[in-house]
Amino acid sequence: MPGFDNKPSHPWRTPLLILEFSSLALLLGSMAWLSGQAQTGEPLAPGWLLLPALASLGVFASFIGLMYLRWVAAAGARNQGRPRVVFALLAVTLLGIWLYGVTNTWLSLNTP
Protein backbone atom coordinates (compact mmCIF):
# COMPACT_ATOMS: atom_id res chain seq x y z
CA MET A 1 0.00 0.00 0.00
CA PRO A 2 1.57 3.34 -0.98
CA GLY A 3 2.41 5.64 1.89
CA PHE A 4 2.05 2.90 4.50
CA ASP A 5 5.01 2.68 6.85
CA ASN A 6 5.99 -0.85 7.86
CA LYS A 7 8.06 0.18 10.90
CA PRO A 8 7.42 -2.04 13.93
CA SER A 9 5.35 -0.34 16.60
CA HIS A 10 6.70 0.41 20.04
CA PRO A 11 6.26 -2.49 22.53
CA TRP A 12 4.26 -0.25 24.93
CA ARG A 13 1.73 0.80 22.28
CA THR A 14 -0.57 -2.23 22.55
CA PRO A 15 -0.69 -2.33 26.38
CA LEU A 16 -1.37 1.42 26.47
CA LEU A 17 -4.20 1.07 23.96
CA ILE A 18 -5.68 -1.81 25.97
CA LEU A 19 -5.42 0.27 29.16
CA GLU A 20 -7.01 3.29 27.49
CA PHE A 21 -10.02 1.51 26.05
CA SER A 22 -10.63 -0.73 29.05
CA SER A 23 -10.40 2.31 31.36
CA LEU A 24 -12.77 4.19 29.09
CA ALA A 25 -15.26 1.30 29.18
CA LEU A 26 -14.94 1.13 32.98
CA LEU A 27 -15.42 4.90 33.22
CA LEU A 28 -18.56 4.89 31.09
CA GLY A 29 -19.95 1.84 32.87
CA SER A 30 -19.32 3.30 36.31
CA MET A 31 -20.91 6.60 35.33
CA ALA A 32 -24.01 4.79 34.08
CA TRP A 33 -24.13 2.71 37.26
CA LEU A 34 -23.69 5.75 39.50
CA SER A 35 -26.42 7.56 37.58
CA GLY A 36 -28.76 4.64 38.19
CA GLN A 37 -27.86 4.59 41.88
CA ALA A 38 -28.52 8.32 42.20
CA GLN A 39 -32.01 7.92 40.73
CA THR A 40 -32.99 5.44 43.44
CA GLY A 41 -32.55 8.16 46.05
CA GLU A 42 -30.40 6.08 48.38
CA PRO A 43 -27.25 7.75 49.71
CA LEU A 44 -24.12 6.68 47.90
CA ALA A 45 -20.94 5.88 49.77
CA PRO A 46 -18.17 8.28 48.67
CA GLY A 47 -15.81 5.35 48.13
CA TRP A 48 -17.74 4.40 45.00
CA LEU A 49 -16.49 7.62 43.38
CA LEU A 50 -13.00 6.15 43.40
CA LEU A 51 -14.04 3.82 40.57
CA PRO A 52 -14.63 6.55 37.94
CA ALA A 53 -11.74 8.60 39.35
CA LEU A 54 -9.26 5.75 38.91
CA ALA A 55 -10.75 4.86 35.52
CA SER A 56 -10.32 8.44 34.33
CA LEU A 57 -6.75 8.39 35.63
CA GLY A 58 -6.18 5.27 33.54
CA VAL A 59 -7.53 7.05 30.47
CA PHE A 60 -5.34 10.09 31.11
CA ALA A 61 -2.23 8.01 31.87
CA SER A 62 -2.58 5.90 28.74
CA PHE A 63 -3.29 8.99 26.64
CA ILE A 64 -0.15 10.62 28.02
CA GLY A 65 1.85 7.44 27.37
CA LEU A 66 0.63 7.24 23.77
CA MET A 67 1.36 10.94 23.34
CA TYR A 68 4.90 10.29 24.58
CA LEU A 69 5.37 7.49 22.05
CA ARG A 70 3.99 9.62 19.24
CA TRP A 71 5.95 12.80 19.97
CA VAL A 72 9.09 11.98 21.92
CA ALA A 73 10.01 8.39 21.14
CA ALA A 74 9.27 8.85 17.43
CA ALA A 75 11.40 12.02 17.26
CA GLY A 76 14.66 10.11 17.44
CA ALA A 77 17.60 10.60 19.75
CA ARG A 78 18.85 13.80 18.11
CA ASN A 79 15.60 15.78 18.16
CA GLN A 80 14.10 14.98 21.55
CA GLY A 81 14.80 18.27 23.34
CA ARG A 82 11.82 20.38 22.29
CA PRO A 83 9.31 17.47 22.13
CA ARG A 84 10.26 16.46 25.69
CA VAL A 85 9.63 19.97 27.01
CA VAL A 86 6.28 20.24 25.23
CA PHE A 87 5.34 16.74 26.35
CA ALA A 88 6.26 17.48 29.98
CA LEU A 89 4.17 20.67 29.98
CA LEU A 90 1.16 18.92 28.48
CA ALA A 91 1.46 15.91 30.80
CA VAL A 92 1.69 18.12 33.91
CA THR A 93 -1.26 20.20 32.66
CA LEU A 94 -3.44 17.13 32.02
CA LEU A 95 -2.62 15.56 35.36
CA GLY A 96 -3.19 18.89 37.12
CA ILE A 97 -6.62 19.24 35.52
CA TRP A 98 -7.47 15.67 36.54
CA LEU A 99 -6.33 16.29 40.12
CA TYR A 100 -8.25 19.57 40.29
CA GLY A 101 -11.45 17.90 39.07
CA VAL A 102 -11.17 14.94 41.44
CA THR A 103 -10.35 17.21 44.39
CA ASN A 104 -13.28 19.53 43.71
CA THR A 105 -15.64 16.59 43.34
CA TRP A 106 -14.46 15.04 46.60
CA LEU A 107 -14.67 18.34 48.49
CA SER A 108 -18.16 19.03 47.16
CA LEU A 109 -19.34 15.82 48.86
CA ASN A 110 -18.49 17.23 52.26
CA THR A 111 -20.33 20.54 51.87
CA PRO A 112 -23.97 20.64 52.94
Across 30-34, 41-45, 55-59, 74-78, least confident range: 74-78
Q: Assign 78 a pLDDT band (cuts: 50, 70, 90).
A: confident
Q: What is the model's pLDDT at position 4?
A: 60
Q: What is the model's pLDDT at position 7?
A: 67
Hey, how many other C-beta atoms are within 10 angstroms of the C-beta on 86? 13
Q: What is the model's pLDDT at position 10?
A: 83
Digit-coded pLDDT (tens) for 15-24: 999 999 999 9
pTM reported for the whole predicted model: 0.81
The residue with greater pLDDT, 63 or 112, is 63
Q: Provide mean pLDDT across the span 88-112.
A: 89
What is the domain partition of the chain in residue ranges?
13-109
**Closest by Cα among 53, 52, 60, 57 to 32:** 52
